[in-house]
Amino acid sequence: MSPRLAILAVATLCALSACSSPTATAQAGAVLKIKDPGNAGPLAYAKKNGILEKRLAQVGAKVEWGGTYASFTATIDAVRSGSVNVLEGAISPALGYLANGRDIKIFSITDRVVDPAAPKTDGLVVPADSPVKDVKELVGKRIAVNKGGRGEYLLLLALERAGVRPDQVTRVYLNPDQAASAFATGKVDAWWAIVRAYPEAVAKGARVLVHSNDLPDQDLSIQAARVELLEKHPEAVRVYLDVLRELTAQAKTEPDAFQNVFLAQGPTALSGARLKEELDKSRYALPPRPATAADLTYVKDVAGVFHRYGVLPASVNPSDVIFDLRASS
Amino acid sequence: MTTLTSAEPVTGLEEPRFLGVRHRPAALSVAIRASVPLLLLAAWWYGSASGAIPSDVLAAPSQVVGALGELAATGQLADYLLASAHRAGLGVLLGGGAGLLLGVVAGLSALGEELVDPTMQMKRAVPFLALVPLFISWFGVEESFKVVLIAVAAAGPMYAYTYLGVRGVDRKLVEAARGFGLKGPRLALGVIIPTALPSILMALRVSLSVALTGLIAAEQIGATEGIGYLVTLAQQYYRSDYMVLCVVVYAVLGLVIDLAIRGAEKASMPWRR
């Protein structure tokens, strides 16, 4: 009869010890909490080689590598709970968060690559056999986009330019991974594929109607951080940005070191044409730069498009969202 | 009323049909059990090989085996299984333990039922996935969040089946045990739980499968290993071979859980055949 009691005792012990989360560290230095960088890119390279750890130690700061999140929205939950305090993204998805909270600010912007030889990073795709040849012909069609994110922003821009009212098409809100299967099986007529989804869609024969390069795209990649980290430890965030800039520059000359960083095989490993494409992207990538007050234009423009078409109920006050690292002591 | 006429000779008497479970030879039973899954496997293999199933709809078995090979070669498969087993085990231990305790309390005493049952029924109606955002703000996104989510998911079925099982215990048996002076924890552990054991093991079976669902939800958030994390990775990197591999891993885990519980049933209830 005692085994069951023993199990309960063990369970209680676990509740008290193993499962209780470590609370905030008592040290005064900054701790940069970054989500898992995956298997490619400057941050993955930095994690593997301990570069951030080394450089941050010089200003008395540390780095904590966290887990992966299925979407930007999930990452935002982690930011809200304080498990992540520095994150990469784009202006568009961050706006939804900035509209509801004041706890993150944008401290860095990555300018758009304008070199026409650089690989395209996104596009409005239709199936190869689709009769649609132009954005105008999308009237009455179902188009997959990620809600309140880059896909929706670019679709609104493209429709605006083509003179199509957004209510003349059906926007189907799907995350990129869900949209990929809906698009492959013909459940949506078109899809604004972004980031990893775009080369996958093109590789499977999708036809591109328009790229973001063809539009007045103001939705730039950003780095954002929680406000208390920026205000108390701007020096640590500066080191982070410096490291990122150096590694982006290094990746231009030796891109191979920045792909398949941890694993050469498995779901995250790339090979063949996809690997070549990512190597090309690294060669053309521009380093992130500190954000300045002038960058408010970008935020205002993207927020304006979202506000005009009712994507964001509240308008964002752009002056709350930029943090100038150089202005802070 | 009928009367027996003994003058007639007794002819054409039939032995009544055997009503119990007929035991087939073990080999035949295993073959029949395996036939449907094997048939599905063969259809999958043939469909992929003949081109009837395009590989972006369903990856071919060879691709899935390749993915399994890669994952095993890098040592991730073992790491992922261990990480998930740790989370699920801890979650089921905590949640299942609480569910068991509450189920016994509610099943044994009227007061307990009145105090516990309404809340547990309400809790059961709340899909645990709806609690994810709340739990993130309470527990963060680290291990404790994941374990708590699985524990909450596992507590529901454990409570419900235990409660039913305890309610179903023969009152006469309880009276008899009381007559021998058993009461309190000794009554619960010595008489009631062993008698309700079939229900409790059923509860364990359901709790473990719910824990697998919980793993997918929990490991989408802030994880770097685990089989739920593998599902997320497969989606994020558009690897249909790994998506199918995840399905296969889950199917195998389901099988393993079933076998384990069957083993536990045999070992813990020798009086049941």
B166 vs A: CB within 8 A: no
Instruction: Using a pLDDT cut of 90, give the percent of chain B over it.
Output: 51
The answer to whether residues B250 and B81 touch, using CB atoms and an 8 Å cutoff, is: no
Q: Which residues of B touch A18 (CB under 8 A)?
A: 90, 143
User: What single string gives the DSSP state of each residue in B134-179?
Assistant: HHHHHHTTSHHHHHHHHHHHHHHHHHHHHHHHHHTS-HHHHHHHHH
What gap in Å lies between CA A77 and CA B60, rounded to an integer? 36
B57 vs A: CB within 8 A: yes
Instruction: Choose among A10, A35, A263: nearest Cβ to B74.
Output: A263
SS3 B222: strand
Q: Which residues of A280-301 are buried (b: 16+ CB within 10 A; e: fewer)?
A: ebbeebbbbebbeeebbebbbb
pLDDT digits (tens, 9 = 90+) for B33-59: 889 989 999 999 999 999 888 877 788
CA-based Rg of chain A, rounded to a whole angstrom? 22
Instruction: Choose among B57, B190, B229: nearest Cβ to A68.
Output: B229
For B249, the token pair is: 């891993």
What is the SS3 string spanning chain A?
CHHHHHHHHHHHHHHHCCCCCCCCCCCCCCEEEECCCCCCCHHHHHHHHCHHHHHHHCCCCEEEECCEECCHHHHHHHHHCCCCCEEEEEHHHHHHHHHHCCCEEEEEEECCCCCCCCCCCCEEEECCCCCCCCHHHHCCCEEEECCCCHHHHHHHHHHHHHCCCHHHCEEEECCHHHHHHHHHCCCCCEEEECCCHHHHHHHCCCEEEECHHHCCCCCCEEEEEEHHHHHHCHHHHHHHHHHHHHHHHHHHHCHHHHCCCCCCCCCCCCCHHHHHHHHHHHHHCCCCEECCHHHHHHHHHHHHHHHHCCCCCCCCCHHHCECCCCCCC
Each residue's pLDDT expressed in tens, for chain B with a length of 273 residues: 455 555 666 677 877 777 777 777 888 988 998 899 899 999 999 999 998 888 777 889 999 999 999 999 988 999 999 999 999 999 999 999 999 999 999 988 889 999 999 999 999 889 888 898 888 888 888 889 999 999 999 999 999 999 999 999 988 998 899 899 988 888 888 888 889 999 999 999 999 999 998 998 899 888 889 999 999 888 888 888 899 999 999 999 988 998 999 999 889 888 775
| Residue linked to tokens 């752009």 | A318
Quote the pLDDT of residue B95: 96
A177 vs B: CB within 8 A: yes
CATH of A26-112+219-320, one of 3.40.50.10470, 3.10.270.10, 1.10.760.10, 3.40.190.10: 3.40.190.10
Chain pair A-B, CB pairs under 8 angstroms = 118
Quote the pLDDT of residue A94: 87
SS3 B180: coil
Quote the pLDDT of residue A21: 38
Quote the pLDDT of residue B6: 56
Quote the pLDDT of residue B220: 86
What gap in Å lies between CA B154 and CA B31, rounded to an integer? 33
**Residue of B90, B104, B141 to mutate for A, most A C-beta atoms under 10 A:** B141
Q: Which residues of A touch B186 (CB under 8 A)?
A: 1
Quote the pLDDT of residue B45: 93
Q: Name the closest residue on chain B to residue A38, using Cα atoms.
A: B224
- The partner residues of A143 in beta bridges, in order of sequence, read A171, A190
> In angstroms, how far apart are the furthest CA atoms of chain A?
76
CATH architecture type of domain A123-214:
3-Layer(aba) Sandwich (3.40)
Record: contact A5-B242, CB cut-off 8 A: no
Quote the pLDDT of residue B202: 92
Q: How far is CA B8 from CA B2, B3, B15, in A?
A: 15, 12, 19
What gap in Å lies between CA B177 and CA B195, rounded to an integer? 12
The answer to whether residues A21 and B144 touch, using CB atoms and an 8 Å cutoff, is: yes
Q: Which residues of B touch A267 (CB under 8 A)?
A: 67, 71, 230, 233-234, 237, 239, 242
Which of A145, A196, A204, A133 minimizes the C-alpha distance to A169? A145
Residue B196 sits at the vertex; the CA angle it makes with B190 and B202, to the nearest 5 degrees, is 135
Domains of chain B: 60-268 (1.10.3720.10)
A263 vs B: CB within 8 A: yes
State the nearest Cα–Cα gap between A162 and chain B, in angstroms.
31
SS3 B223: strand
pLDDT digits (tens, 9 = 90+) for B92-124: 999 999 999 999 999 888 899 999 999 999 998
Record: contact A266-B97, CB cut-off 8 A: no
Each residue's pLDDT expressed in tens, for chain A with a length of 329 residues: 344 444 444 444 444 444 433 444 434 689 999 999 999 999 999 999 999 999 999 999 999 999 888 777 778 888 888 889 999 989 998 888 887 778 889 999 999 988 888 889 899 999 999 999 999 999 999 999 988 889 999 999 999 999 999 999 999 999 888 888 889 888 999 999 988 889 889 988 899 999 998 999 999 999 999 999 999 999 999 999 999 999 999 999 999 999 999 988 888 888 888 899 899 999 999 999 999 988 989 998 999 999 889 888 766 776 678 899 887 65
Quote the pLDDT of residue A55: 95
Phi/psi at B269 (nearest 5 deg)? -130, 70
Task: Quote the ipTM score.
Answer: 0.71
Q: Name the closest residue on chain A to residue B228, using Cα atoms.
A: A70
Numbered ranges of CATH 3.40.190.10 in chain A: 26-112+219-320, 123-214
Q: Name the closest residue on chain B to residue A4, using Cα atoms.
A: B189
